[in-house]
Amino acid sequence: MAENKNEAKITMLTIKEAAALVDGLTEYRVRELCRSGALPCFKAGKKYLINKDILYKYLNGELVVQ
C-alpha cells in the first residue's frame, strides 16, 4: 500500500513512555487517568496505549472527556 505524504503519523505511548515524557507525571497517575476514563486510551492485551497528541491536548486543557 502506498503511503500518502499528507497523512499524519500516529504515535501511541505506553504508560511508562507517557509518564517519562512529562516531568512530574507518574506512571501511577497515568494509569489512574486511563482506568477512570479521564484520559482517552485503549487496551492492547494488558497494556494501555495512549495517543501522544491526545495526551498533550489533555494536559493543556484542550480536551475534556465527559
Task: For residue 22, give its domain range.
Answer: 12-59
Could you report the per-residue pLDDT of 38-60, keeping only the tens digit for each? 999 999 999 999 999 999 999 99
Do the domain assignments include residue 6?
Answer: no
> Is residue 31 included in any domain, yes or no?
yes
Does 65 reside within a domain?
no
Report if residue 35 sits inside a domain: yes
Buried b (16+ CB within 10 A) or exposed e, 22-52: eeeeeeeebbebbeeeebebeeeeeebbbbe
5 in any annotated domain: no
pTM of structure: 0.80
- Is there a domain that residue 66 lies in? no
Please tell me what DSSP assigns to residue 24: T
Instruction: Quick: pLDDT tens for 19-44.
Output: 999 999 999 999 999 999 999 999 99
Asked if the structure places residue 36 within a domain, the reply is yes
Q: How many domains does the chain have?
A: 1
Domain assignment of residue 27, yes or no: yes
